[in-house]
Amino acid sequence: MAKSKEDVVQEFRVQSIQEAAIRVISRKGMAAATMQEIAAEAGVAKGTIYLYFRDREELVEKTFETAIGELHKRLDAALDREGTFEERLRGLMTAQFTFFNENREFFRLYHSLRMPEGSATQQRRQKRTCQPQFRARVDRLAVVLKQAMDAGEVRVFDPQRLALFVIEGSIALVLERLSEDAPPPESEDIEMVVSTLLSGIATPKSKRSSH
Amino acid sequence: MAKSKEDVVQEFRVQSIQEAAIRVISRKGMAAATMQEIAAEAGVAKGTIYLYFRDREELVEKTFETAIGELHKRLDAALDREGTFEERLRGLMTAQFTFFNENREFFRLYHSLRMPEGSATQQRRQKRTCQPQFRARVDRLAVVLKQAMDAGEVRVFDPQRLALFVIEGSIALVLERLSEDAPPPESEDIEMVVSTLLSGIATPKSKRSSH
DNA sequence: CGATACACTGACCGGACGTTCAGCGCGGTG
DNA sequence: CACCGCGCTGAACGTCCGGTCAGTGTATCG
């Protein structure tokens, strides 16, 4: 059975509203984004939103899930390529930098959900539904690290923790880039992260005389 | 001229209110922290707060400045010690982990201000007053990195950017620790960061045969 | 073409929150 | 003791916003 006409309309509305929500939240921030403004941005009345989403909370949650799904697709694509550990790491970083560069607006939403605000119940719920999304993001890198550790290509640490460190550190770089007028080429930042990670920042005098 | 009695009372009130603000914001988050609750926590009436701070915004700002001053003192103390680059880096990391461990509550405030919300004017103002504080934090590490680069102990990158990466990455670790029931010893995380930074995560097979 | 269904609208409601200010009580003063 | 000044109080006010629902326009059906 193909999509009925109603389904198409429904899908269109949901999508319009979600896109509007991302735009408004990006512009104003999570706290200052009102249902009224989201509705206006989507070109519908406030009440209409409530035909498609139970309440503001559900709208934000669903919107975030949709948006982060796109990010995950990109990261997975980067990770599915074969190659050495270094190549895959570099690919992952590139995908991340590129995605956030193309979706600058999404960034604020991303961070607003990272550190939830609002009532205790809201916070708990937000945590329950959004935390796994962030975790999944870290996990993707952790898996790659684990493989490399098992293969002996990389020193053994807790892969989760190392992944966390790298992801968040590089997010800070993305954030910095967004606020700069003329950021250096992406490749420069990626290079710094990858090569620091691989061989450290100490000058390699240890190659000759290992202390 | 010594402090008059009124000054002492004034100082006490300001301090009580700021401490209450930190506690409440930490518990509820920036958006959910109401003047009512901060007043109750400080043991004064809501109106009293307005005798010492112009409005909510000023309260938050001043409170944050006071609190982050304490952090900076600690970091400076760690950096003022003499020692090798590695020792100073380790000291800095330790100071940071310790501070946030002792001031868990402060963390949420810290992050709420990092990504400002609210009206556009508020955001701009918050950015103007708080951004330099964060920047100062990164700068402290950047200076150490720069020194080490000049001394040839460390490969040359943009010190600011590298510092940013390290600071934010390690903040993520602190955050992770706070949410864990039984976090591993601090030293383990510190060790991971310091040794990754210094010599990278690649296994040092290059010592014998550089592939 | 009239009746019915239904997506949509937006004025309205209730509640929350920041801010104000008239008044209260208390320590000091004459 | 009577009076005064002032730090403090908290009820009241205005604003804002999420959520509701009676009403409206339109497409569909008999």
Q: What is the pLDDT along chain B (211 residues), one digit of tens a residue?
A: 445 666 777 889 999 999 999 999 888 888 889 999 999 999 999 999 999 999 999 999 999 898 888 889 999 999 888 888 999 999 999 999 998 887 776 776 777 777 666 666 777 777 777 788 888 889 999 999 999 999 998 999 999 999 999 999 998 898 888 888 899 999 999 999 999 999 887 766 544 443 4
Contacts of B138 in chain A (CB under 8 A): none
B33 touches strand C (CB under 7 A): yes
Q: How far from chain centre, in Å, is Cα A167?
A: 10
Q: What is the mean pLDDT of residues A44-48?
A: 97
- Please indicate, yes or no, whether the overall pTM of this predicted structure exceeds 0.75: yes
Query: Measured between alpha carbons, how far is B53 from B51 in angstroms, rounded to an integer?
Result: 6
Instruction: Using CA coordinates, name the residue in chain B closest to A85.
Output: B202
Query: Measured between alpha carbons, how far is B193 from B93 in angstroms, rounded to an integer?
Result: 8
Query: Measured between alpha carbons, how far is B29 from B105 in angstroms, rounded to an integer?
Result: 10
- Can you give the distance from the CA of residue B37 to the C1' of nucleotide D5 in angstroms? 30
Q: Which long-range contacts (CB under 8 A, 24 or more apart) does B186-190 make?
A: B186/B94, B186/B97, B186/B98, B186/B101, B189/A161, B189/B97, B190/B90, B190/B93, B190/B94, B190/B97
What is each CA distance from B44 to A148, B13, B54, B63, in whole angstroms? 58, 9, 16, 17
Query: Measured between alpha carbons, how far is A96 from B80 in angstroms, rounded to an integer?
Result: 37
Query: Measured between alpha carbons, how far is B24 from A60 in angstroms, rounded to an integer?
Result: 25
Q: Name the one residue in this structure whose structure tokens are 């198409």.
A: A8
Query: Measured between alpha carbons, how far is A126 from A71 in angstroms, rounded to an integer?
Result: 19
Q: What is the mean pLDDT of residues A192-201?
A: 91
Binary contact (A201, B198; C-beta < 8 A): yes
Tokens of B2: 């010594």
